[in-house]
Structure 1
């Protein structure tokens, strides 16, 4: 398995075109990983307290329309 240091070095050695393609790939990869984590956290109830707080503030008139 490659180490992080090895990966960093390989990225630094990419051509301009390959670096651009890597950026596009990584942004999509990172967004997908983020979405998966949010879905997992929501399914496990980890966001329930935040949702309840937001609903409470909305119901008590503390929220404003955007």
Structure 2
């Protein structure tokens, strides 16, 4: 554990229990959220882009698309 995190826990010990519990919930949520982001970012995303490209090309060849400018979106 880092010194800063140790210091934060040490300071939190002096707070009333309901506030300690709220801090703990927030910390757990932040850790879980960060963990999810790390997992998402570590997974290869190229298959998603490939699938979207195939779908766009298929729809274009079927005449389901039209050329538009940015101000028409």
Please give the range of the TM-score, normalised by the shorter of the 2 chains: 0.5 to 0.7
The alignment of Structure 1 onto Structure 2 pairs a total of residues equal to: 43
The gaps in structure 1 that reach 5 residues or longer are 45-66
The residue aligned with 2:53 is none
Runs of 4+ in 1 over 6 A off after TM superposition: none
Structure 1 11/43 Cα, relative in aligned 2: closer, same or farther at 3 Å?
Answer: farther
Which of these two proteins has the greater Rg computed from alpha carbons?
2
| Structure 2 segments unaligned to the other structure (5+ residues) | 46-73
Q: State the 1:5 CA deviation.
A: 3.1
Q: TM-score, normalized by length of structure 2? A: 0.48
Aligned pairs for 1:30-45 (under 5 A) are 30-43=31-44
Query: Cα RMSD over matched residues?
Result: 2.0
The TM-score with structure 1 as length reference comes to 0.52
